[in-house]
Amino acid sequence: MSEHADSHEGHEHHHKETFVTKYIFSQDHKMIAKQYLITGIIMGVIGVIMSMMMRMQIAWPEEPNVIFEALLGRWAPDGVMDADIYLALVTIHGTIMVFFVLTAGLSGTFSNLLIPLQIGARDMASGFLNMLSYWIFFLSSVIMVFSLFVEAGPAASGWTIYPPLSALPLAQSGSGMGMTLWLVSMAIFIAASLLASLNYIVTIINLRTKGMSMTRLPLTIWAFFITAIIGVVSFPVLLSAALLLIMDRSFGTSFFLSDIFIQGEVLHYQGGSPVLFEHLFWFLGHPEVYIVILPAMGIVSEVIATNSRKPIFGYRAMIAAILAIAFLSTIVWGHHMFISGMNPFLGSVFTFTTLLIAIPSAIKAFNWITTLWKGNLQLNPAMLFSIGLVSTFLTGGLTGIILGDSALDINVHDTYFVIAHFHLVMGISALYGMFAGIYHWYPKMFGRMLNKNLGYIHFWVTAICAYGVFFPMHFIGMAGLPRRYYTNSNFPLFDDLQDVNVIITIFALFGGVVQLVFLWNFFYSIFYGKKTVQNPWRSTTLEWTAPIKHIHGNWEGKIPHVYRWPYDYSKPGHDEDFVPQNVPLKEGEEELQH
Amino acid sequence: MTAFLTIIVLVFITVAIWQMVKIFDLAQVNKDNSQVANDKDNRINGYLMLGFLAFIYGITIVCFVKWGDLPLMSNAASEHGVKIDNLMIISMILIFIVQTITQFLLHYFAFKYKGEKGRKALFYTDNDKLEFIWTIIPTIVLAGLIIYGLFTWTEIMDINEDDDPLVIELYAQQFNWKARYGGADNTLGKANVRLIDINRANILGLDESDPNAQDDIITTELHLPVGRTVLFKMRSQDVLHSAYMPHFRAQMNCVPGMITQFGFTPTVTTVEMRQTPEMIDKVANINRIRVEKSKKLIKKGEEPLERYEFDYLLLCNKICGKSHYNMQMKIIVETQEEYDAWIKTQKVFKNSLIN
């Protein structure tokens, strides 16, 4: 498309906007990004409240709790939580946080916002598909939330929904209507995610502005690009698993079921295997953690470089590490299944591939640390969350060496050690990445600044609570405490761990409540925040060359051309400590790019 | 009540934080209000980074000192458990070293290079040598760990039936465990859930026509002779369960429709384990806690808790439904003579059927 036609199109849209096309069925990527973000935040609030209820239940299992009574109603008669509903909380908390907050909320928001703006495109390749994917995602969120209100309770067999527990309503009350809605919601979610991913891939490949070669892309875009590819490769497998499970549940097939005697009767299922489901589930389930963490890593790379006023160290190595992680992520799923009954030889293979992932991860961590070295660090809230991500990614990632080792996994599998590991390395880290992104690009999204002092309080209290919650969990895990227990009081063996659990819960409650500071800051600043300047962080990437006021088409006139890589910070020979990508090379200036 | 009080305290603290921020904001009304970090912010947060590093080290030390002996990192009660523990300790030491160094570098750099107006950062894009170093070192260390780990894994999972192990079936159902011994012939009879006949008390679905099944023994407690290799064959009749025996460093899922297996050799009898100094301490501590709890219960007019005595346990460790949290079986490791005496008192299958 010629430049002329490009800018023309931008103007045309400007005239026809009504309230509905601007705020609801918008095809503008910036508005869709905000829609994803706000939906993600709402789902996040639900997920965090659930985790706080779980923690209160574990810390004070016998005591009636007014909060349970208020929020759970008939599932907490006299304020004592029902055992079934505890498992439902476990399940829905996991599902919401992994898929709805950290996949759609994180990737959906920032891929949509940044891909066109950072590569210099007027919008996504298909604005209509983009709008469709958001509204399909919204539908799946509504169904998931609706499933919380069905008669017998929501799905309760863990976010991994292993059959036969999830397949048989006789096995558990949550495996009835609740499970059906869960499966329908997830099937729709996957459709939304696939539409979005395809759109991201096509946009990045086709719509880069003149001069924006692949090796001049910001690391955010690389991360979103590879994330979308992983999504396209692995999400369909979960969809097939969900469909087969629906067949087993409703149409009498036996893909995952065999030889079952339950509640006094033999069921007709014959020949299937739950282990098959585990393979299908984890073929998505493991790449999924990289779908969650890679965008966070991309965001953090960008924020650390900008706020260090230094180029990201080892740009090409960072890209190579993303590619290596993406490739390895698809061949390690079996490390969730060392003790599932699969052939021990397979366990050896998966141990090997799993521990290999530590190498690209180490490269990324060391490169971030080196980027800080001799920088001029602007410790904005976004920067603090980015440093926080590196910290929790290290702490959580290192224990992966234990869990990935099949021999060691035997004894810590499905204990609190696992909870500590994955919450730090992928839950907290990805949340930090999301917060870093929100603090950093808030001016771009809303034209106003977030209050920095509230941001500092938000970060420091969250950071202390995150360690306070998850660090001690490693130890109760090594002491053999299984996860997903409604209460530990049936095992006197674990009585001496109860005080640890109370401490963890107190940290968790603080950590949860301090998010209110963020929520206040976020919603208050939309209307009353300080107005931003065009490039508040003095950043080099293209999104800051676009006007503050959002227009459909992003740039008033021509799309800027790109002449250099995105990390020319503090480059010798320039007066300013940053040189935007759209500034041509000076005479005799070399494009230093690695 | 505790929960309620905690919530109230949390609310107050939130209000306090809120008020502090307001004061902070009001104090700087006339100064720079751009919401971008200035030198003062960089300084404060730089020092907080150092403080946070101290916090991470602190919490690590507190956890190791207070709870470091709780983990079952020592006194494994099985032969292969010692190997797992050694590997675990080596991995932990390695992790500990890397964690200490990298967290130091990260937070120290964040403090040391906190921004100041007028300073320029070093334009430093790449260094192949450095990157090579931190690629190759993890590679070598991990290669070592992988090889060590794989040897251990293969040894544990390689069950040699020529060693004449004691064959025991672990049978899982919502929400309890059964054990089935092969009887005098040490061979389990054929079984399938389709043969379950509750009216005749054939609860595990044994094939009544199979001669090997006649002398099988079904129990609700797991007795193991010390020093004899045991091979567990695991079955489940309804949903996934996982047989977790933490003291023996043993775990394997029980999967409906298939038989899974795990083998180990118990090395410490229950009586011996109760007399180890660590266990005496642990049990005394637990009983102190239980006495405290009982006092509260008595006040409320409820039954006090029983005194705790150590026993090995088999726990369910795969989410299996409502009472997952209470699916357990006692394991007793005893001498061969004690075991022989116990097994004699148990009914064999053909005598347990109701005709």
Q: What is the pLDDT of residue B11?
A: 78
CB-based contact A103:A293 (threshold 8 Å)? no
Which residues, 6 or more positions from A167, have their beta carbon under 8 angstroms from its beta carbon?
A175, A245, A248, A249, A256, A257
How far A392 CA lies from chain B's nearest CA (Å)?
Answer: 9
Q: Which chain B residues are Cβ-neighbours of A216 within 8 angstroms?
A: none
Q: Which chain B residues are Cβ-neighbours of A536 within 8 angstroms?
A: 34-36
Q: With an 8 Å Cβ cutoff, are B121 and A376 in contact?
A: yes
Q: Shortest CB distance from B113 goes to which of A87, A372, A495?
A: A372
For the entire predicted model, the pTM comes to 0.93
Q: Is a pLDDT exceeding 50 seen at residue A460?
A: yes
Distance between CA A516 and CA A244 in Å, rounded?
A: 41
Domain architecture of chain B: domains with CATH: 161-272+306-352 (2.60.40.420)
Tell me the per-residue pLDDT of B203-237, one tens digit each, with 9 for 90 and over: 999 999 999 999 999 999 999 999 999 999 999 99
- CATH code for the domain of A177: 1.20.210.10
Q: Is B274 on the interface with A (CB under 8 A)?
A: no
Tell me the per-residue pLDDT of A29-83, one tens digit each, with 9 for 90 and over: 999 999 999 999 999 999 999 999 999 999 998 788 888 888 888 888 888 999 9
Say which residue, A149 or A20, is predicted with more confidence: A149
**How large is the average pLDDT for residues B32-58?**
91
How far B25 CA lies from chain A's nearest CA (Å)?
Answer: 8
Q: Is B226 on the interface with A (CB under 8 A)?
A: no
Distance between CA A85 and CA A90 in Å, rounded?
A: 9
How far A517 CA lies from chain B's nearest CA (Å)?
Answer: 8
Q: Is a pLDDT exceeding 60 seen at residue A552?
A: yes
Q: With an 8 Å Cβ cutoff, are A391 and B48 in contact?
A: no
Q: With an 8 Å Cβ cutoff, are A411 and B123 in contact?
A: no
**How large is the average pLDDT for residues B44-68?**
92
Q: Could you tell me if residue A469 is inside a domain?
A: yes
Beta-ladder partners of B260: B234
Which residues, 6 or more positions from A442, have their beta carbon under 8 angstroms from its beta carbon?
A448, A449, A450, A522, A525, A529
% of chain B residues with pLDDT over 90? 68
CA B140, distance to chain mean position in Å, is 29
DSSP 8-state secondary structure symbol assigned to residue B241: E
Q: Which chain B residues are Cβ-neighbours of A402 within 8 angstroms?
A: 88, 91-92, 95
Q: With an 8 Å Cβ cutoff, are A261 and B238 in contact?
A: yes
- Three-class secondary structure of residue B251 per DSSP: strand
Tell me the per-residue pLDDT of A91-129, one tens digit each, with 9 for 90 and over: 999 999 999 999 999 999 999 999 999 999 999 999 999
Q: Is a pLDDT exceeding 60 seen at residue A13?
A: no
CB-based contact B52:A388 (threshold 8 Å)? no
Nearest chain B Cα to A351, which residue? B146
Q: Is B294 on the interface with A (CB under 8 A)?
A: no
Q: Which amino acid is at A120?
A: G
**How large is the average pLDDT for residues B53-66?**
93
How far B213 CA lies from chain A's nearest CA (Å)?
Answer: 19
- Three-class secondary structure of residue A451 per DSSP: coil
CA A512, distance to chain mean position in Å, is 18
Tell me the per-residue pLDDT of A165-188, one tens digit each, with 9 for 90 and over: 999 999 999 899 999 999 999 999
Q: Which chain A residues are Cβ-neighbours of B67 within 8 angstroms?
A: 472, 475-476, 479, 500
Q: Could you tell me if residue A588 is inside a domain?
A: no
Tell me the per-residue pLDDT of A494-531, one tens digit each, with 9 for 90 and over: 998 999 999 999 999 999 999 999 999 999 999 989 99
Distance between CA A175 and CA B333 in Å, rounded?
A: 38
How far B266 CA lies from chain A's nearest CA (Å)?
Answer: 15
Nearest chain A Cα to B158, which residue? A344
Which residues, 6 or more positions from B82, have their beta carbon under 8 angstroms from its beta carbon?
B76
∠ Cα B86 B89 B92 (to 5°): 150
Q: With an 8 Å Cβ cutoff, are B13 and A59 in contact?
A: no
**How large is the average pLDDT for residues A140-146?**
96
Domain count, chain A: 1
A482 prior amide bond cis, ω within 30 = no
Q: Which chain A residues are Cβ-neighbours of B175 within 8 angstroms?
A: none
Q: With an 8 Å Cβ cutoff, are B70 and A344 in contact?
A: no
Distance between CA B317 and CA A419 in Å, rounded?
A: 14
Taking only Cα atoms into account, the Rg of chain A, rounded to an integer number of angstroms, comes to 24
Interface test with A, best of B4, B36, B156 (most A CBs within 10 A): B36
Distance between CA B194 and CA B172 in Å, rounded?
A: 15
Name the average pLDDT for chain B. 89
Q: What is the pLDDT of residue A5?
A: 41
- Three-class secondary structure of residue B54 per DSSP: helix
> Given the structure tokens 């409650």, which residue do they identify?
A509
Q: pLDDT band at A588, cuts 50/70/90?
A: confident
Size of interface A-B (CB pairs under 8 A): 430
Give the residue from A486, A404, A558 showing the smallest Cα distance to A172. Answer: A486
How far B85 CA lies from chain A's nearest CA (Å)?
Answer: 8
Lowest-confidence segment of A389-403, B70-84, B339-353 by average pLDDT: B70-84
Can you state the percent helix, strand and coil of chain A, rounding each to 5?
70, 0, 30
Q: pLDDT band at A406, cuts 50/70/90?
A: very high
Tell me the per-residue pLDDT of A209-244, one tens digit each, with 9 for 90 and over: 999 999 999 999 999 999 999 999 999 999 999 999
Q: pLDDT band at B28, cuts 50/70/90?
A: low
Q: pLDDT band at A282, cuts 50/70/90?
A: very high
Nearest chain A Cα to B28, which residue? A453
Beta-ladder partners of B314: B329
ipTM of the prediction greater than 0.90, yes or no? yes
- Three-class secondary structure of residue A254 per DSSP: coil
How far B343 CA lies from chain A's nearest CA (Å)?
Answer: 27
Note down the domain range covering A482.
27-261+269-545
Going across the sheet that includes B230-236, the strands are B217-219, B176-181, B166-173, B230-236, B260-264
∠ Cα B196 B199 B204 (to 5°): 25
Structure tokens given for A472: 């001690």
Q: What is the pLDDT of residue B118?
A: 86
Q: pLDDT band at B3, cuts 50/70/90?
A: low
Give the residue from A91, A130, A36 showing the smallest Cα distance to A434. Answer: A36
Q: Is a pLDDT exceeding 80 seen at residue B4?
A: no
Q: Shortest CB distance from A165 goes to which of B72, B249, B319?
A: B319
CB-based contact B273:B310 (threshold 8 Å)? yes
Residues written for chain A:
594
Distance between CA A360 and CA A289 in Å, rounded?
A: 15
Residues written for chain B:
355
Q: Is B86 on the interface with A (CB under 8 A)?
A: no
Q: What is the pLDDT of residue A3?
A: 42
Q: What is the pLDDT of residue B70?
A: 57
Q: What is the pLDDT of residue A62?
A: 78
% of chain A residues with pLDDT over 70? 97
Q: Could you tell me if residue A120 is inside a domain?
A: yes
Which residues, 6 or more positions from B154, have their beta carbon under 8 angstroms from its beta carbon?
A344, A348
Q: Could you tell me if residue A2 is inside a domain?
A: no
Q: With an 8 Å Cβ cutoff, are B67 and A571 in contact?
A: no
Q: Is a pLDDT exceeding 80 seen at residue B7?
A: no
Q: With an 8 Å Cβ cutoff, are B124 and A274 in contact?
A: no
How far B336 CA lies from chain A's nearest CA (Å)?
Answer: 26
Give the residue from A534, A521, A536 showing the smallest Cα distance to B36. Answer: A536
Q: Could you tell me if residue A297 is inside a domain?
A: yes
